[in-house]
Amino acid sequence: MESRTLETITINNSLEIVRLNGNVKFKAPLGYTLPCGYCFKHPEKGYFAFAGDIVPYIPRGGKKALLSIMESGGFLDFDNSVWLQPLN
């Protein structure tokens, strides 16, 4: 069984569930995108996304899916993830 490192635990504990309402811009190949839905946000690192994605991770299960991730202890690691910064 994999265990979380202290760094991973610290990041998981800092994640907030936020709702995007199409009012936060993220860079896209042809300009920007305005995603809608619930996602994770870290107060310093930014919005959680999987490597290769241009928008934050917004699961189909919405807030309930994100709460389930948090209730199970959060992510095991952040090796295949990126932190997105919104455009101003």
Q: What is the pLDDT of residues 6-32, one digit of tens each?
A: 999 999 999 999 999 999 999 999 999
Q: Is residue 41 a contact partner of residue 16, using CB atoms and an 8 Å limit?
A: yes
What pLDDT sits at residue 3? Answer: 86
Long-range contacts of 63-69 (CB under 8 A, 24+ apart): 63/17, 63/19, 63/38, 66/17, 66/38, 66/39, 66/40, 67/17
Which structure tokens are listed for 68? 């389930």
Q: What is the pLDDT of residues 49-84, one digit of tens each?
A: 999 999 999 999 999 999 999 999 999 999 999 999
3-state secondary structure of 79: coil
What pLDDT sits at residue 88? Answer: 79
What pLDDT sits at residue 68? Answer: 98
**Is pLDDT above 70 for 1?**
no
- Cβ partners under 8 Å of residue 18, min gap 6: 38, 39, 40, 41
Q: What is the pLDDT of residues 34-47, one digit of tens each?
A: 999 999 999 999 99
